[in-house]
Amino acid sequence: MAKHKIAPVMMALVGAPFFLASCKGTEPGAAAAGNELRVVKVEGAAVCYNQTLSPFSWMVSEEGRPAGLLARDGDLLAFLSDVKEGRPLFLRYRATDGTALAVALEGGRMSLGGKAASIAMQDPAATEWLEQASEEDLKALRLLQMNESMDAAHLEILKKVAKANPAIDLSLEAGESPPATEEGAAAPVAVGPGEVLHLFRPRLLAAPARLFSEEMEKIRPALEDVEVLIVDAKEEGSLDFLTHLPRLRTLILSNWSPEQAPLPKGLTTIRSLILIGAKSPVALASLAGLAQLEQLTLVGGNVEDLGGLARLPRLKTLSLTGCEKVTDLGPLKNLALVYLSFPPKISQQEFDAVIKDHSGLKAVELFNCENVKDIGHLKGLKDLKALVLIKPAFEGEKHLADLKELKGLRLLVLPPWEGEEANAQIADLQKSLPDCLISAGQPLCLGSGWILLLAPVAAGAWLVSRRRRG
């Protein structure tokens, strides 16, 4: 038996709403109705997670049991090859990918079904692959990660990519990464992000906030098709540039200060808002101008009063992961929620009341909700398809009888289990739920020093995973 610690890794990107109409066919982000929730098995990755839906529920591969996650057309998935370290590679899931993903991760490149789908140019091997890739290979790529500034040689490679695949999803990380020069040679001239971005027409874009103030006129044409935008708002400055994104549907803000950079008026296209690690208290009443919101995610949010949710009547998806100040869920009563991630300090009484009031819930997540000892009320949720029940340690013996009665479950995520007794309990549970994928998962701990950077996101926290080996 071995104990492993996943080092702070580079996470990034959050995507579109969940259980809602947002995608069509194989083009993530296009509007459609009846988008189907899928349980997806993943092979070839030590860790995987759905950055759109549940970025802090990390699925880990257990011996003899595949990792599994929820995904729908357009969701952004992340994969790591090593449980201890590494850079995640991302791609947006397509319904045509099916419900079993075989991935390969090597040299800054992720392949799906034998074809490269995601590239991180920070890895020299990935850049070398891009130089030699055929036009067909470049057209198959879905997402490209790079530093915001680079040398002219890298720019030429990007021109080749843009010619074959201008709509590829882009993640521009802060910083420069020119290659080392030979002794006595002149240093390469850095090329700014404006010179890079104007080559493309991405539908998903992650970029430093200053890019939009310093080079807005140069990059404006590249923003016309952006549907998903990820911005680190820790730098002071206006968010008025958001009004220049006519197709924006999903907005992800980290380190946001509502007082210093309020959301501009007129953001009528946004359906999904994700606020992560807000620097100052977020008054939900200030979101009244976003009455069309269908998803609100407040990860580790600086939120205490949920009263403002009454002004978001279309809300279907709500995540309160890490919102430790939230204890009163009364304001949720009149919302027709289908997906809910509970705050960690919720009481047993509040949990029972919410479940009773929201009989239409299809997915429930409980991250480190230590006060919830009884999950019996979940049996009243006739449409419940997914349950994430993650605490610091496996507690199958406490919930086994209730879990066996949730016959409609298609995905159950529990903490990694160890020992013969736990394995026997899982085997027994699987017999009672033959149509359910039981997967192991661990939460990312949101400590007081937790901070979110951008693209990829560096989390100043640790994901501790205990896994049984051999």
SS (H, E, C) 212-227: HHHCHHHHHHHHCCCC
Structure confidence at residue 8 (pLDDT):
31
- Please check whether residue 309 is in contact with residue 328, taking contact to mean a CB–CB distance below 8 angstroms: no
At 452, phi and psi to the nearest 5? -115, 125
- Please check whether residue 403 is in contact with residue 386, taking contact to mean a CB–CB distance below 8 angstroms: no
Q: What are 136-194's pLDDT values in tens digits?
A: 999 999 999 988 777 888 889 999 999 999 999 999 877 655 454 445 444 455 667 77
- Residue 255's H or E segment, with its range, is none
Q: How far apart are CA 416 and CA 421, in angstroms?
A: 13
- Please check whether residue 270 is in contact with residue 247, taking contact to mean a CB–CB distance below 8 angstroms: no
Domains along the sequence of the chain with CATH: 2-177+191-467 (3.80.10)
Residue 385 backbone class (left: φ over 0; alpha: ψ -120 to 50; beta: rest):
alpha
Low-confidence ranges of the chain (pLDDT < 50): 1-34, 178, 180-182, 184-187, 445-470
Q: How far apart are CA 408 and CA 2, in angstroms?
A: 34
For residue 96, the 8-state DSSP code is G
Other beta carbons within 10 Å of 225: 18
Other beta carbons within 10 Å of 169: 27
Nearest alpha carbon to residue 19 among 384, 433, 388, 333: 384
E-strand ranges in 33-142 read 38-43, 47-50, 57-60, 67-71, 76-80, 89-92, 100-106, 109-112, 115-120
**At residue 198, what is the residue type?**
H
**At residue 347, what is the residue type?**
S
Helix boundaries (H) for 221-333:
none
- Please check whether residue 432 is in contact with residue 404, taking contact to mean a CB–CB distance below 8 angstroms: yes
Instruction: Quickly list DSSP for 124-152.
Output: HHHHHHHHH--HHHHHH--EEEEEEEEEH
72 Cβ contact partners less than 8 Å away, ≥ 6 residues apart: 18, 19, 23, 35, 36, 37, 38, 93, 95
- Please check whether residue 69 is in contact with residue 58, taking contact to mean a CB–CB distance below 8 angstroms: no
**At residue 5, what is the residue type?**
K
Helix axes 124-132, 152-164, angle to 10 degrees: 50
Nearest alpha carbon to residue 376 among 342, 410, 399, 353: 399
At 347, phi and psi to the nearest 5? -85, 165
- Residue 317's H or E segment, with its range, is strand 317-319
For residue 273, the 8-state DSSP code is E
